[in-house]
Structure 1
Amino acid sequence: MLTEDKKITTSQTVVIVSNCILGSGILTLPRVLADSMKTSDGWISIILGGILIMLAGLCIVRLSQRFPGKTLYQFSRELMGKWCGSIFSILIATFYIFIAAFELRVMFEVTTLYLLEDIPRWAIIMSFIWVGLYIIKGGLGAIARLYEIILPSTVVVFVFSMILSGKIFEVDNLLPVLGDGIFPVIKGVSSTILVFLGHELMFTLTASMQHPEKAGKAVIIGISIPLFLNLVAFVMVIGGMSVHGVISSTWPTVDLLRSFEITGLFFERFDFFLLVIWIMQILTTFSILQYNSSLGFAQTFKTRMRPFMFCSMPIILFIALIPRDVNELFMVSKIFGDIGVVIFVILPPLLLVYAKIFKKGAVR
């Protein structure tokens, strides 16, 4: 169990959850929603998806609070039995490795397309893996302090960039509201939920909080920040490029900022600043995923984390190099996204009900 001085504050918990959610999804969400819905009502799906994730996050918090001071990897054996709990923990830790590799591959694709051309794939990905290792070696407290610096910078740069894109914004591109009815909105919710995965960190963060009773508040605020930013991104991207224009773009959020210039300012193009800050953001997402994976294996096998940190590095590199192109990358991410929805959105309420019925953990 962590000592009080090594535990994280409520605000640090908020920052970690927000940073994890704010990965690569915001760069592609407008295209994914526009392609699946064929309407401009994706902003409604984003709100509904965010609310569902908040409810799932609260279920995770309530379940974790029944086992004070323990992470999912520790109380899963008490909740599900020794063997089932251990297998479940290993599956969760393995799942984090795959998602971490996906985030790095997205980072590589965006970097080589807009910033660093003709750089070997392995060189860029391996460099970020080493940086990620350096971050997580300091423990959860060091991770939280770094994230407290990166998140405000991300929000300021992103909001400022979106405000500047108002130069080409046309409200007609967002009309009519519900022109095709409610069914496209419902269809878009599933795609939206995938982007908000990251709330499941509360399975491990709750045990590390100074005030675990405030975990519910932390997860709500932690989800609200990326919910707001994704909502702004969708509205501005669709308003600036239209539904048909967004569908034909791989990275519409970046392409929006490349589609206009602001004359008279010291800088006329702002896509570079967004890319730089978002590479940092993807790095934070990757590092906390690798940390949770290493923590999961270490607590499952009751050993130290450091060997798993190093062992996961070549595995992540290998997985990140598997997709041959962007299409395969998105196809694989969709599969693992659906798995994540089942594990972290559908399963937590069921586990909470099970724990209450069979009186697993502390009675709350």
Structure 2
Amino acid sequence: MKEHGKLSERQFAGIIANTMVGVGVLILPKTATKFAGTAGWIALLLGGVIALFFLFLILKLGTRFPENTLMEYAPRIIGKIPGTLVSLIFCTYWFLLSSLIFRVFAEMMVDAILLNTPIEVIIISMLILVAYLSRHDVEVFGRVNELFFIFLIIPAVFGLAVSLKQVTGIKLLPLLGNGLPSILINTRELFFSFVGFEIIFLFIPSITTLGKVYNYGFKGWLSPAAIYLAVVIIGIGVFGTRELQNLMWPTLELVKVINFPGLILERVEAIFIAFWVIAVFTTVTNLFYSSVVGATQVLKLSDHKTLVYPLLPLFYFFSTYPQNIYEVLNYMNVMGKFGGLVIITVTPLLYIISLIRNIKGGQKA
């Protein structure tokens, strides 16, 4: 299951970035301004810095066990039963989160372009692709993330650069929005928008050069953080905080009002959605793949392919269980908070106990 030396540093960064950028970006300006108002971008920046701290802490913990994943060193640090329980919590969280992200994706597709298409059809068609990629090894998985990240970052940078001319500076004032307490409240909420990076618990042993793990871990965080920050600032500058709270998909609405020079297509959002499908596909696949690989290691199976197809019906069930988009977003909010809570409690606990008990793995070859 662990294929050492199979991930390049750029692939490692791509996995982090692609997992963080998903459906959350569609409602991010609305989330960021919910409490902080025009200071939503400050709250987002603070939430991103907190996420970066825990990303580095995970890397620090992983480099103490360069040959092992979380599922292998957690039982050594805190005992077999608690360690196995922690591993299963992460696997379950990744699995449920990926199924909910899939449902949000399907809902948005129906609202935006596939008006008469049943949600079940969209979920099943994409699920086939997710299952296909998830059955490959980590080397193929890394190559796909590296390639798809290019298709994500280039149009994102171009679109955000063009949209700057639509920004009205007065809508960004006052800089401190509704005050420091509201910023801190939103910071907690926005930290959950960065979750997903914790899947690197599984991929640190596979990176080719362990010494560069911090450098490329930072680069993997930086790209989505910059995109998030730009989306929030531009969203506030174009719509204002009050209007953002009334929009279902503010980022999609932002794309609709942007005038792209030289573009003759009437529905620019269709191009945005085409690239966004790639972003969601990689996010869902990364989370699903991680849950499958993690469960395989907990169950001590020889091949993760054994679990891929048996888990698909369960994945479909959780994707279709919510009755409407509001239930889905509510479940996603709960899952995001749960995942964030697990990250900020389990990671420091494992690291501190490993230091106190002086437990570490062997040196990576």
TM-score range, shorter chain: over 0.9
Question: Would the aligned equivalents of 1:79 and 1:355 in 2 still touch at CA under 8 Å?
Answer: yes
- Contact kept, 8 Å, 2:74 with 2:83, in 1: the verdict is yes
- Secondary structure of 2:202's partner? helix
Structure-1 residue corresponding to 2:13 = 14
Q: Does 1:266 align with 2:292?
A: no
Match of 1:254 among 252, 255, 267: 252
Q: 1:179-234: CA deviations, max 9, x gaps?
A: 43211111111121111112212211111111123222222111111000000100
CA positional deviation for 1:125: 0.5
Offset at 1:46?
1.4
| Counterpart-to-counterpart distance in 2, 1:268 and 1:160 | 18
Q: SS at the partner of 1:295? A: helix
After the TM superposition, which of the residue ranges 244-253 and 302-311 deviates more from structure 2?
Answer: 302-311
Distance 1:163 1:307, change over 3 A: same
- Structure 1 position 166, deviation (Å): 3.1
Q: Write the deviation string for residues 148-207 of structure 1: whole angstroms up to 9, x where unpaired.
A: 221122112122222332343201111111143211111111121111112212211111
Alpha-carbon distance, 1:246 to partner? 0.6
Aligned counterpart, 1:330:
329
Partner of 2:204: 206
Is 157-166 or 223-232 further displaced after alignment?
157-166
What amino acid sits opposite 1:118 in the alignment? N
Q: 1:264 to 1:85 in 2, by over 3 A?
A: closer
Which structure 2 segments of 5+ residues have no match? none
Contact 2:293 2:304 in 1 (8 A): yes
Contact 2:3/2:206 (8 A) holds in 1: no
Which one-letter code corresponds to 2:308 in the other structure?
M
> Residues 327-364 of structure 1, C-alpha deviation per residue, up to 9 Å, x if partnerless?
11111111111111111133212221111011122499
Give the match for residue 41 of structure 2.
43
1:347 aligns with 2:321: no
1:361 aligns with 2:360: yes
d(CA) in 1 for partners of 2:333, 2:46? 19
1:65 is the counterpart of 2:63: yes
Find the aligned partners of 2:177 and 2:48 in 1 and give their Cα distance.
22
Hey, what does 2:308 align to over in structure 1?
Answer: 309
Q: What percentage of aligned pairs have identical amino acids? A: 24
The alpha-carbon deviation at position 134 of structure 1 amounts to: 1.1
One-letter code of the match for 1:11? R
8 Å contact 1:173–1:239 — kept in the other structure? yes
Q: Distance in 2 between matches of 1:56 and 1:155?
A: 24
Aligned equivalent of 1:138, options 133, 136, 149: 136
Asked if the contact 1:50–1:193 (Cα under 8 Å) also holds between the matched residues in 2, the reply is: yes
Partner of 1:77: 75
- Is the 8 Å Cα contact of residues 157 and 273 (structure 1) preserved in structure 2? no
**Partner SS for 2:248:** coil
Structure 2 residue 83 is the aligned partner of structure 1 residue 92: no
Q: CA deviation at 1:63?
A: 1.0
Query: Contact 2:16–2:221 (CA<8 Å) still a contact in 1?
Result: yes
Seen in structure 2, the aligned counterparts of structure 1 residues 359 and 273 have a Cα distance that, compared at 3 Å, is same
Match of 2:108 in 1: 110
Within the candidate set 217, 220, 228, 1:219 is matched to: 217
Secondary structure (helix, strand or coil) at the match of 1:78 reads helix
- 3-state DSSP of counterpart to 1:41: helix
Whole-angstrom distance in 2 between the partners of 1:305 and 1:161: 38
Q: Secondary structure at the match of 1:230?
A: helix
Q: CA RMSD in A?
A: 1.8
The 2-side partners of 1:338 and 1:296 are apart by: 21
1:229-248 equivalences in 2 (<5 Å)? 229-248=227-246
- 1:168-207 pair list within 5 angstroms: 168-207=166-205
Q: Distance in 2 between matches of 1:344 and 1:262?
A: 40
For 1:34 and 1:108, locate their aligned partners in 2 and report how far apart those are by CA, in whole Å: 25
SS in 2 for 1:116: coil
Match of 2:33 in 1: 34
Q: TM-score, normalised by structure 2?
A: 0.95
Shift of 1:259: 2.6
Contact 2:103–2:319, Cα closer than 8 Å, also in 1: yes
Deviation, 1:290, is 0.9
Contact between 2:30 and 2:244, CA under 8 Å: does it hold in 1? yes
State how far apart, in whole Å, the 1-side matches of 2:128 and 2:196 are.
Answer: 22
Map Cα deviations across residues 75-120 of structure 1 (whole Å, 9 max, x no partner). Answer: 1111121111112212211111101101101110111111111211
Q: Per-residue CA shift, 1:300-348, capped at 9, x if unaligned?
A: 1111211211111111110011111111111111111111111113321
- The code of the aligned residue for 1:311 comes to P
Amino acid in structure 2 at the alignment position of 1:239: G
- 8 A Cα contact 1:77 1:83, kept in partner: yes
Write the letter of the residue equivalent to 1:337: G
Name the CA distance, whole Å, in 1 between partners of 2:213 and 2:58. 10
**Count of residues in Structure 1 that have an aligned counterpart in Structure 2:** 362
